[in-house]
Amino acid sequence: MSKEQIMERLTEIFRDVFDDESIEISDSTTADDIEAWDSLEHITLISAVEKAFKMRFTMREVSGMKNVGEMAEILLERGK
């Protein structure tokens, strides 16, 4: 799976989790950029991403992610 494909899938997941079809994400997107992205929704988001990509993030990965780009890079690496 390419980085572009991962970002497309992540966009779908973000739109579903936050119930907002207008969401556009980029590598630099953070919780500050999406109004509804609070700590509870973060858990929901991580769970949805794990389910969609059939993998689990480690606690270190989750706590270390600073933006969507870092999430996508982990998914890209795991997909290899």
Segments forming the whole domain that contains residue 19: 3-78
Number of H helices, E strands in the chain: 4, 0
The pLDDT tens digits of the residues spanning 54-71 come to 999 999 999 999 999 999
User: Using N-to-C axis directions, what is the helix angle for 3-17 and 39-53, rounded to 10°?
Assistant: 130
For residue 61, give the CATH number of its domain: 1.10.1200.10
Name the one residue in this structure whose structure tokens are 């980085």: 3
The per-residue pLDDT for 4 is 95
pTM: 0.93
Query: How many independent structural domains does the chain possess?
Result: 1
What confidence tens digit (pLDDT) does each residue in 7-66 have?
Answer: 999 999 999 999 999 999 999 999 999 999 999 999 999 999 999 999 999 999 999 999
Cβ contacts of 44 within 8 Å, gap of 6 or more: 17
| N-term to C-term CA, the chain | 8
